[in-house]
A and B are shown apart, each in its own frame.
Chain A
Amino acid sequence: QKEVEQDPGPLSVPEGAIVSLNCTYSNSAFQYFMWYRQYSRKGPELLMYTYSSGNKEDGRFTAQVDKSSKYISLFIRDSQPSDSATYLCAPDQGGKLIFGQGTELSVKP
Chain B
Amino acid sequence: GAVVSQHPSWVICKSGTSVKIECRSLDFQATTMFWYRQFPKQSLMLMATSNEGSKATYEQGVEKDKFLINHASLTLSTLTVTSAHPEDSSFYICSAREASGGATKTQYFGPGTRLLVL
Interface size class of A (residues with CB under 8 A): 20 to 34
A43: chain B residues within 8 A (beta carbon)? 4, 6, 93, 95, 109-112
Choose, from A12-20, A63-71, A95-103, the stretch at the interface: A95-103
Interface size class of B (residues with CB under 8 A): 20 to 34
Chain B interface secondary structure, helix, strand, loop or mixed? Answer: strand
Q: Is the CB of A44 within 8 A of B44?
A: yes
Q: Is the CB of A101 within 8 A of B109?
A: no
Whether A49 contacts B104 in the complex (CB less than 8 A), given A43-B93, A102-B43, comes out as yes
Q: Is the CB of B109 within 8 A of A45?
A: yes
**A77→B32 CA distance, assembly (Å):** 35
B49 within 8 A of A: yes
Q: Is the CB of B43 within 8 A of A36?
A: no
Binding site for B on A (CB under 8 A): 8, 32, 34, 36, 41-46, 49, 51, 88, 92, 95-97, 99-102
Binding site for A on B (CB under 8 A): 4, 6, 32, 34, 41-46, 49, 91, 93, 95, 97, 103-112, 114
